[in-house]
Amino acid sequence: MALSDPLGILASPFTIIKCRDDRADIEAIIDIVSQHQVEQIIVGLPLSMDGSIGEQAEKVKAFTQKLCSHTEVPVEFRDERLTTVSAKRLMQAVNISKTRDDAIAAALILQGYLDEGQ
């Protein structure tokens, strides 16, 4: 998970939510959304390399639909193809522990969204 600064300029890795079950995961997300006054949720959608929606993307969409029923914060999907690869390359370049690659990938997804809005 990543969060932006209050002005929506810079995304930073925030945390990794250890997937347990949908209810616990949604509760964790809603807690963070409330605590940090999140105004928009960006969800990485793992599209296939050809841009199609595969099995994993369908799972993400189903989870996101459940999440949406627990919050009024707007939710938007963002193509996340190759963000984990980019995150791993970035981490290697600056010698960061591999345990944060998902949070860094989330920050890259969010940063792309923020950059498009500028």
The 10s digit of each residue's pLDDT in 75-100 is 999 888 766 656 666 666 666 655 56
Measured CA to CA, the distance from residue 97 to residue 80 in angstroms comes to 21
| Residue pair 15/29 in contact by the 8 Å Cβ criterion | no
Ranges of residues in the chain with a pLDDT under 70 are: 82-101, 118
Output the pLDDT for position 26. Answer: 96
Tally of CA atoms within 13 A in the half-sphere of 110 that contains its CB? 23
> What is residue 95's predicted lDDT score, i.e. its pLDDT?
63
Range(s) of the domain holding residue 18: 2-117
Q: Quick one: pLDDT at residue 58?
A: 95
pLDDT score, position 71: 96
**Number of domains the chain contains:** 1
CATH of the domain at 17: 3.30.420.140
The confidence score (pLDDT) of residue 92 equals: 62
